[in-house]
Structure 1
Amino acid sequence: MKKSQILATAAVANILVLGAALTTTAFAVPEQPKNWEKCAGVSKAGKNDCGSLTKGGHACAGQAESDNLDTEWIYVPEGTCAKLTGGITGKVKPAK
């Protein structure tokens, strides 16, 4: 083999190895948070988790009638709700 062919082959091999390493890193799944909290006021219509925070409200997920209602909540990693505009931390912790 000529020296230029060897260098070209080595360059292609390095690019393939680097690409494989970057792909593996890009698809790494983040660790699941240990603690979750209910965050009201940030869910989209029909995208809430479970029931309403108020007595007499509905008891099932996906029944929020409009966006950002302060009685409709979703689970978020603990500490996240306070960072969201309109986020109200619920008083009840989710079951594990």
Structure 2
Amino acid sequence: MTTRFQSAVPALALAAALGSALAMNIAPAQAGEKGAAQEKCYGVALAGKNDCAAGPGTTCAGTAKTDHQANAWKHVPAGTCTKTTSKTSPTGYGQLAAFEAKTAKSS
């Protein structure tokens, strides 16, 4: 019984080492994909889904009080912000800076 256990230990150690090496190779690629071609887009985040430091009334990620809050931003792929719909933006699309929200029109 000890012989089986002794031969299993090196195999488990090798599997753990390979798993760690593979995990280290994957993590930098994922981080680079998210940060490399992203921009802050104001007015497109949904309530509670904004990224960090959104302005007055928010402290960090997930603190936007309303959908499309004018001072709350979300990371989006570069070049897509001003093409993304925003119900509060004067242009109707996301903005690259915080803005004064337009007032809702009555029907």
TM-score when scaled to structure 2? 0.48
**Residue 66 of structure 1 corresponds to which residue in structure 2?**
66
Task: Give unmatched runs, 5+ long, in structure 1.
Answer: 1-31, 92-96
**Residue 38 of structure 1 corresponds to which residue in structure 2?**
40
Displacement of 1:58 after TM fit? 2.8
In structure 1, what is the Cα distance between the partners aligned to 2:50 and 2:63?
A: 7
Structure with higher helix content: 2
In structure 1, what is the Cα distance between the partners aligned to 2:58 and 2:83?
A: 27
Q: Specify which structure has the bigger relative contact order, considering alpha-carbon pairs within 8 angstroms and separated by 6 or more residues.
A: 1
Task: Give unmatched runs, 5+ long, in structure 2.
Answer: 1-32, 87-93, 99-107
In structure 1, what is the Cα distance between the partners aligned to 2:37 and 2:72?
A: 20
**Residue 90 of structure 1 corresponds to which residue in structure 2?**
97
In structure 2, what is the Cα distance between the partners aligned to 1:67 and 1:57?
A: 13
In structure 2, what is the Cα distance between the partners aligned to 1:38 and 1:79?
A: 10
How many residue pairs match? The answer is: 59
Identity over the aligned pairs, expressed in percent? 45
Distance 1:66 1:57, change over 3 A: closer
Distance 1:35 1:90, change over 3 A: farther
